[in-house]
Amino acid sequence: MLRIINGEVYDPIHNIDGEIREICVRDGYIVSSLEGGGRTIDAAGMVIMPGGVDMHCHIAGPKVNTARKMRPEDHRRDPVPKTSITRSGVGKSVPSTFATGYRYAAMGYTSAFDAAVPPMAARHAHEEFSDTPVIDKGFFVLMGNNEFIMQQIAAGEREKLRHYVAWLLQATKGYAIKIVNPGGVELWKFRGNVHSIDDEVTGFGVTPRQIIASLAETNTELRLPHPVHIHCNNLGIAGNWQATLETMKALDGQPGHLAHVQFHSYGGRPGGLFTSRVPELAEYVNTHANLTVDIGQVLFGDTTSMTGDGPLAYMLHQISGRKWVNVDVECEEGCGIVPIEYKDKNYIHATQWAIGLEWFLLVRDPWRIALSTDHPNGASFVAYPQIIRLLMDREYRKEALKKVNPKAIAKTSLPDHDREYSLFEIAIVTRAGPARMLGLGHKGHLGVGADADITIYDKQEDKEQMFANPRYVIKEGQVLVEDGHIRQETYGKTLFVSPSYDVAVEKDIREFFSKYYTIEFENYPVQLEHYLPRPHEVK
């Protein structure tokens, strides 16, 4: 039992904006009152928020693990020694599983979702999840270049598509439908890519637009907790804002989440320098309530780009000349990995940095925007407190602006914005909003019945310091972090969905497996009892 008294509570889902309230916890959940003993934390002068929820990051699975192997120089710069409580690991842009869990916890984040796992690698992702301490987690299943899915869309087999998607989510114990560069990753296997959302995916007779619309419809029909999660075509390419706008239109009013929009908001001509087209895109989001976005903010420094978007990784490798990995996943997906260093004097990098901040400042409804760096693509998740300071502190932002490429900044709307986020709005974009977008009714708030995932910060002028060093982090009612130190180790739950389907579809899937896969149909599904030590089905 735990009682937290005298703290300023920020709980946007219940419209509580800095009121002094008492929070009571019993058996891992928030309760209305407590009788008897237990610990009391006096949070006078402190800020209380629900635990942070990262809705888009890359922390598990073969892509992340390949990046770990690829970057020994990354690990050498950031060893994480063991303590009497925590295990050893390495940090930097692709931290080991243990360091990932500890660092999220130390920053007050208690849930995180890996945004791109190929179905065939689900087992691997779950194994890493069971080795990632503290946080609750889940992953999104890549479906935008899946051959079976494209065949059903081309054949107009809507029902079969729906049953297959439900089967795939069950088989992988995944959380949501993810689309990455729909059709483009498949074409890349033949050295191509798609350039507009109406290009045909050769050999399949479908277009990216059809893939997006069909999977969005399927998502709605299956009543999944999170809308279809989309990484648009043409990431990182000048002029891609049009494909992004067309993708939003292709949803035709259906719910959809656009991932790391910063990387998809570029004007200019392909191959040339790019400009910001955030004002047009943000206005479209402002006027279409079916859309949500996360940012994919870039921060300056060295990191690792990793993506299910194979052709994009090849482009980055060509531009930077740095080492590159490309992986094909049979019948399903692919991925690419390249180290990248964002430099403040570089015109393109400075434009990307400004574009992310423009998104934060131009979307009016904070409930439809989530803070992310697309970890580690734009920067490591440990940089979130720096982004919070850039949003909350206008003077700090103005000083930061002076240090980056002035020509790039002058071409964006960033110098015109005076908006400052409040603590209430930060609580929305870092926990309440992402939890709501993910359909997690028990997270992102401090109401009765919610998971007792709570972060308590010392109120400080320097918001980066404040959010980087919470005073207490409580997970399921246990005080895990106190004064910057992890006091005990726990393992969070794995969140997954389990939509029902007509088992008759298995006949077709089985046939597809026997023809094209190197793995047997029977060996494909993840066994819940072996791979999810703490499973939690979300309905």
Contacts with Zn ion by CB under 5 A lie at 115, 374
Strand partners, 454: 50, 474
Q: Which of 336, 83, 52 has the alpha carbon at shortest distance from 193?
A: 336
Q: Please give the DSSP secondary-structure letter assigned to residue 357.
A: H
Structure tokens at 150: 């494209």
Nearer to Zn ion, 115 or 237 (CB): 115
What is the smallest separation between the CB atom of 58 and Zn ion, expressed in angstroms?
Answer: 6
Smallest gap from Cβ 436 to Zn ion, in A, equals: 20
Cβ(171)–Cβ(121) under 8 Å? Answer: no
Query: Least distance from C-beta 376 to Zn ion, angstroms?
Result: 9
Of 75 and 375, which has the nearer Cβ to Zn ion? 375
Query: Minimal distance in Å, beta carbon 430 to Zn ion?
Result: 17
Residue 115 or 481 with smaller CB distance to Zn ion? 115
Our CB check for Zn ion shows the closer of 55 and 357 to be 55
CA distance 167 to 130: 23
Residue 74 beta carbon to Zn ion: minimum distance, rounded to whole angstroms: 18
Structure tokens at 201: 């995916």
Query: Phi first, then psi: what are they for 530, rounded to 5°?
Result: -95, -30
The structure tokens listed for 175 are 């959380």
DSSP string, 114-179: EEEE-GGGHHHHHHHHTTS-S-EEEEEEE-TT-HHHHHHHHTT-HHHHHHHHHHHHHHHT--EEEE
CB of 247 to Zn ion, least distance (A): 15
- Give least dist CB 422 to Zn ion, A: 28
Specify the residue, 309 or 453, whose C-beta has the smaller distance to Zn ion: 309
The residue with tokens 């899915």 is 149
* Shortest Å, Cβ 346 to Zn ion: 22
CB 385 within 8 A of CB 106: no
How far apart CA 233 and CA 212 sit, in angstroms, is 11
Half-sphere exposure of 297 (CA within 13 A, CB side): 23
Say how far apart CA 291 and CA 70 lie, in whole Å. Answer: 36
Nearer Cβ to Zn ion (374/476): 374
Which amino acid is it at 525?
A: P
Residue 94 CA to residue 111 CA, distance in Å, equals 18
Using the minimum distance from each CB to Zn ion, give the nearer residue, 233 or 455. Answer: 233
Considering the complex, state which of residue 7 and residue 433 has its C-beta at the smaller distance from Zn ion. Answer: 433
Cα 394 to chain center, whole Å?
A: 26
Closer of 128 and 374 to Zn ion (Cβ): 374
Q: How far is CA 418 from the centre of its chain?
A: 27
What is the closest distance, in whole angstroms, from the C-beta atom of residue 429 to Zn ion in the complex?
Answer: 17
At 457, give phi and psi (nearest 5°). -110, 145
